[in-house]
Structure 1
Amino acid sequence: MTRQLAGHLIVECLAAQGVTHAFGVPGESFLAVLDGFHTYGEAVRFVTCRQEGGAAFMAEAHGKLTGRPGVCFVTRGPGATNASIGVHTAFQDSTPMVLFIGDVGSDFRDREAFQEVDFQSFFGPSTKGMAKRVERIDDAARIPEYIARAFATAMAGRPGPVVLVLPEDMLREMVDVPALPRVEPVPIGADAAAIARLQQMLMQAERPFVIAGGPGWTPAAARDLQCFAEAWQLPVGNAFRFQDTFDNHHPLYAGDVGIGINPALAQRVRDADLVLALGPRLGEMTTGGYTLLQAPRPLQTLVHVHAGADELNRVYQADLAINATPGPLAAALAVLPAPASVPWAENTRAAAADYLANLVPQPLPGDIDMPAIVAALQKHLPADAVLTNGAGNFASWVHRFFRHHGLAKGHKTQLAPTVGAMGYGVPAGIAASIATGRTAFTIAGDGDFLMNGQELATAMQHGGKSIVLLLDNGMFGTIRMHQEREYPTNVGANSGTRLHNPDFCALAQAYGYAAEKVVRTEEFEPALQRALARDTGTLILVPLDPEVISTRGTLAAITRKALTQLG
């Protein structure tokens, strides 16, 4: 057994866990680990990012794509607090992730030393915290134990982030302990009696509805879900920002249950007599602010399946709560005997028809037809392309009009923050491109892009090739929309929401990306084709009429019209 620096052992342990990429910003507090990446560089690639928030988003996106913990390294104090946005995203999105923080030396601890932070208090694990576990490694010989436990914890039950704190002096110790073997997630099987009761509930139902989503879905589980839905002719909606769980092209698909939900779909969920929530946490966005399903006791009969036992009956008191991970659950449902016919078949067909009708756009002002642009994406992007976005009104265009083929086809294709974090889309797309080599397409708003646009430099340095569609309307559109709804007497005031933007094309080119400006709809399709053919990334800038801030129409214009009619 070779004696080595503790910092080197950490990288060896990551390699043993199957880690291929670690994202981060270098810091003097973990120089020994950086030296370890030099030694084990062929096994684990350190991706040098430009800001810790972008690095943490990349790690979170990697965790979403692979189902195994995404890894991020940052330094103490400012580095860790910058990275906290990615940890919070991983927590609310139920994404496995491990954040390593280089910390002050043990001899300086508890003196408020340079950049010192109490990470137990800051990330404190709880149902309201940011991490599932926060641990400090003071004994270098126990590094393999801590890392194996971190990976196991991150993937167990409801997945989430784990924080490991690395004192600088500990990393410089010499050790001769081996890395532990790769940890695999422990599947939670569905109880046979519970599945039998679910079957009985279905037999008694007249208007059932499935909401699928949450973490842990694999292509095999998604195919089993599809078999179950087909056997029972069930209408299926995907939970908020888990739109790739069930194939959007399938005749049983009813639409996404999230922000900007189709009103017909919302009513269908309310009118259901049985809701099968298979995997989602049933958070605020999926439940329409806890109105589609009333908390704590829904009007509908509720079957809630979730991998985290603590999530069951925490917000909603379910008629049947099943603690199971998607794989075993879907496998059990796929072979559940179904009757020859069901009384809700016509309701299922109507739900699918409502979804298709909602894909028909309404006229919008200006020279840019966003639904037509999304149609061009549908036509030219490969079926396994990864679509990413941050938070903002702009995201609703792809959420409503783009149709994911779904995990059943073999790939996860949506990376979007259910936590609603701005600045997520650009680094997530870059991480997807670097780690998978698949086409990565990002839609971003001007405010959203400027939060992490600097990571285009990371893409250029590490061979990433993302395509960024940047919608520039000169404002924080979502907040403007809320302003005009909540304070209509101040319509047009734009308090705090107007943006003075740079020349985005010149900025992208300065980083090394190609850049094109599209001012008419017909210019977008050839620009997209050129972007797909390039060896480097591309930014496509689309100036958008400020009135076009909602897929339901021009909300600002509608508000003004209503005020005019009211005198």
Structure 2
Amino acid sequence: MERETAMTARESGRNAARVLVDQLVANGVRHVFTVPGESFLPVLDALRDSGITVTTCRQEGAAAMMAEAHGKATGLPGICFVTRGPGATNASAGLHVAQQDSTPMILFVGQVERRFRGREAFQELDYRAVFGPMAKWATEIDDPDRVPELVSRAFATATAGRPGPVVMALPKDVLGEFTDAPLAPPFVPVEAAPGADDVARLGDLIASAERPIVVLGGSRWTEQACADIARFAEAFDLPVATSYRRSPLFDALHPCYAGDLGLSPNPKLVRRVRDSDLVVLLGGRLGEIPSQGYGLLSIPGPQTRLVHIHAGPEEIGRVYQPFLAINAAPARTAAALARLAPPARIPWREETCAAHAEFLAWGETATPQPGGVNLGEVIVHLRRTLPRDAVLCNGAGNYAAWIHRFFRFRGFAGHIAPTSASMGYGLPAAVAMKRLWPERTVISLNGDGDFLMNGQEFATAVQYRLPIVVIVCDNASYGTIRMHQEREFPDRPIATDLHNPDFAAYARAFGGLGWTVERTEDFPAAFAEAQAAGRPAIIHLKISTDAITPGQTLTQIRDRALAGRA
């Protein structure tokens, strides 16, 4: 009987790799990102005729970041294929982003043949041991008949509760074996809804408050959910803040918007949250950065009434013990809140207006900066000229503080950036977004050290003719580390100076276009030319090393530290 089953499967031509790819198609996968490897050649062959768009990358870490960016933007698992050993460990950078950012993602990794396992065969790793601590689930497919079952489970796991990454190892010999296992039904994400009693109690808490504020964060949001939460805020006239790198969840020009709790936030917003008598935290975890070093609310018992609404029950009470805990996903919660009737008495209405005015004033005008290029004025120019649905992608570095302060995000998924603050993210994310949304304007903003961690992916943009504009902010330094050095060890810099290439020439070497800007007033023309070119382009901004934050220069930070030690 087993022999007859094997003959049937072989005659159908459906090896395990083909079944795996068919299961991806059944689950709505349209894009995958990869660096090819001989350990999963049957999968590559199956992808060739699948209808799935394949993006070939230059390094596995960048491929994983592209998949993570895709998952962050769509809410569906981003898919990445990498080879075993070095390919898998390279990809771990993107996997960590997915874990910290609560992004659904599936990383498929080649593995040695089953008969070689345990001998430390060529490039062998125990993927459960290596990736178990940084993934929601790490597993290995040992039986071709279980491919549909396990791939379906991977989709469900990656999207359930608090989303995150799944790692699935694919032994080379399993991929070539034949199976007649039927495909699993397409997965459907489970969206937990708040109970009617919880919604009513939340409404009562808001009605009895004097200084409430809503903080939006986390993942699992949709465009409709953002519209619902805006209707709720309008009806109740509530001030709404966004968490670190979640600004697109609420239109920056909406009269209820109070700003973002990210890098170098408006001190008035921080004070407003501390002084509030009701904080409604929807979707987010209020981690280290948005909580301002866990100083915004007292731990474990907040000094104010905290309502924590989160899709993952394990996150509620993990750090803060809420006054009201609601285990529900943002989309279902936002829909329920949009149906709530506002109270007759809204004593915080003037405070909401004041909060929005403070937000606008905080980022209206660029602060003075040393050097020929003022990054604040560059960001203000982008704010004024980019279309509402433009997508800005960035990685990690002090340059991002100017984005948070001076840009105003207005479109859903308009900011794709890692809350894990992973360097090298901005360019791969921009490639992924342009593959996903070719009609949208996509800008990649990078520091100099940040850019060169995955700068090779500019070649990927050129290969696929993706007209992204890449801005490299070159201050010849690992600026964030230099800033912390001057605070803790003033006037003793080490290991933070960088000797950089001509980034405009770098662009041209790959077949793109490049401009160098050494004066702020030259940026608008260079940017207009780059946008009109219809080809991948790099604008190289020469920025003073002293221009380290929107509010303080490096010299001021050092002098203050030296004065404190005198």
1:513 is matched with which residue? 512
Q: Structure 1 residue 566: deviation in Å?
A: 8.1
Q: How does 1:266-415 map to 2 (within 5 A)?
A: 266-359=270-363, 360-407=365-412, 412-415=413-416
- Against the structure 1 CA distance between its residues 122 and 558, is the aligned structure 2 distance closer, same or farther, given a 3 Å change threshold? closer
Contact 1:481/1:556, CA 8 A, preserved across alignment: no
Q: Is the 8 A contact 2:395 2:418 kept in 1?
A: yes
**Quick one: distance in 2 between partners of 1:14 and 1:374?**
39
Deviation, structure 1 residue 11:
1.4
Match of 2:432 in 1: 431
Write the distance in 2 (CA, Å) between the matches of 1:406 and 1:46. Answer: 27
TM-aligned CA distance change 1:564 to 1:92, over 3 Å: closer
Query: Residue type matched to 1:298 in 2?
Result: P
Question: Aligned Cα RMSD in Å?
Answer: 1.4
Corresponding residue number in structure 1 for 2:6: none
Instruction: Check conservation: 2:444, 2:471, Cα contact below 8 A.
Output: yes
2:561, 2:70 → 1: CA distance? 45
Mapped to 1, the partners of 2:256 and 2:243 lie a distance apart of: 15
Task: Find the counterpart in structure 2 of residue 137 from structure 1.
Answer: 141
Say whether 1:115 aligns with 2:117: no
DSSP 3-state at the match of 1:382: coil
1:38 aligns with 2:43: no
Question: 2-side partners of 1:5 and 1:452: how far apart?
Answer: 35
Offset, 1:561: 6.1
Q: 2:62 aligns with which of 42, 54, 57?
A: 54
Give the deviation of 1:16 after TM superposition: 1.1
Asked if the contact 1:434/1:463 (under 8 Å) is kept, the reply is no
Equivalent in the alignment of 2:98: 90
Query: What residue is the counterpart of 1:159 in the other structure?
Result: 163
1:437-456 to 2 correspondence within 5 Å? 437=438, 438-456=440-458
What is residue 104 of structure 1 aligned with on the other side?
112
Could you say which residue in structure 2 is the equivalent of 1:12?
Answer: 22
2 CA distance for matches of 1:83 and 1:530? 35
Are 1:418 and 2:431 counterparts? Answer: no
Alignment of 1:419-498 (within 5 A): 419-437=420-438, 438-488=440-490, 491=491, 493-498=492-497
Deviations 1:328-376 (A, max 9, x none): 1001111111123411112112211211121133211122122221121
Deviation at 1:555, TM superposition (A): 3.7
The secondary structure found in structure 2 opposite 1:147 is helix
Distance 2:196 2:480 in 1: 46
Instruction: Show CA shifts across 1:417-440 (max 9, x none).
Output: 001111011100011011211211
Aligned to 1:185: 189
Offset of residue 512 of structure 1: 1.6
- Secondary structure at the residue paired with 1:255? strand
1:21 equivalent to 2:2? Answer: no
Which amino acid counterpart does residue 99 of structure 2 have in structure 1? F
Mapped contact 1:472–1:542 kept (Cα < 8 A) = yes
Give the superposition deviation at 1:261.
1.2
TM-score (norm 2): 0.96
Unaligned residue ranges in structure 2 (runs of 5+): 1-8
CA distance in 1, matches of 2:329, 2:79: 23
Q: If the length of structure 1 is used for normalisation, what is the TM-score?
A: 0.95
Distance 1:294 1:370 in 2: 35
Runs (4+) of structure 1 moved beyond 4 Å? 564-567
The answer as to whether partners of 1:217 and 1:327 remain within 8 angstroms in 2 is yes
d(CA) in 2 for partners of 1:144, 1:3? 16
Secondary structure of the corresponding residue to residue 228 of structure 2: helix
* 1:562 to partner: Cα distance: 6.7
Q: 2: CA distance between counterparts of 1:332 and 1:566? A: 55
Q: Does 1:203 align with 2:207?
A: yes
Partner of 1:265: 269
Partner residue of 2:216 out of 212, 217, 234: 212
CA distance in 2, matches of 1:179, 1:39: 18
* 3-state SS of paired residue (1:175): coil
> What is the distance in 2 between the residues matched to 1:207 and 1:406?
28
Query: Comparing 360-369 with 553-562, which one deviates more in the overlay?
Result: 553-562
Work out the CA distance in 2 between the residues paired with 1:182 and 1:509.
44
Partner deviation per Cα, 1:363-390 (whole Å, 9 max, x = no partner): 1112212222112111222211111100
Q: Distance in 2 between matches of 1:341 and 1:524?
A: 50
CA contact (8 A) 1:431 1:464 kept: no
Q: What per-residue deviation string (whole Å, max 9, x for no partner) do you get for residues 123-164 of structure 1?
A: 11xxxx211111111111111111111011111111110111
Q: Is the 8 A contact 1:132 1:161 kept in 2?
A: yes
Q: Deviations over 1:426-482 (max 9, x none)?
A: 100011011211211011000000000000111122232211110001000000111
Q: Is the 8 A contact 2:486 2:557 kept in 1?
A: no
Superposed counterparts of 1:516-555, under 5 Å: 516-555=515-554
Q: Distance in 2 between matches of 1:68 and 1:533?
A: 32
Q: How many residues align?
A: 554
Mapped to 2, the partners of 1:393 and 1:362 lie a distance apart of: 15
Q: Given the superposition, is the C-alpha separation of residues 176 and 562 from structure 1 closer, same or farther in structure 2, using an over 3 Å criterion? A: closer
List alignment gaps of at least 5 residues for structure 1. Answer: none
Q: Distance between the aligned counterparts of 2:456 and 2:469, measured in 1?
A: 15
**Greater displacement, 108-117 / 371-380:** 371-380
Shift of 1:39: 2.6
CA drift of 1:564 comes to 6.3
Change (3 A) 1:107 1:355: same
Contact 2:374 2:543 in 1 (8 A): no
Quick one: distance in 1 between partners of 2:403 and 2:419?
15
SS at match of 1:102: strand
- The SS at the match of 1:458 is helix
Once the two structures are overlaid, the 10-residue window that deviates more, 173-182 or 386-395, is: 173-182
Q: How far did 1:205 drift?
A: 0.8
Deviates further, 340-349 or 508-517: 340-349
Q: 1:78 aligns with which of 79, 86, 89?
A: 86
Distance in 2 (CA, whole Å) between partners of 1:350 and 1:8 is 59
Corresponding position of 1:244: 248
Q: Is residue 199–residue 337 contact of structure 2 (8 Å, CA) maintained in 1?
A: yes
The percent identity for this pair of structures is 51
Partners of 1:224 and 1:555 lie apart in 2 by 43
In the other structure, the counterpart of 2:5 is: none
Q: Tell me the SS of whatever aligns to 1:442.
A: strand
Q: Name which of structure 1's ranges 550-559 and 224-233 shifts more when overlaid on structure 2.
A: 550-559
* Secondary structure at 2:110 match in 1: strand
In 2, Cα distance between equivalents of 1:205 and 1:57: 42
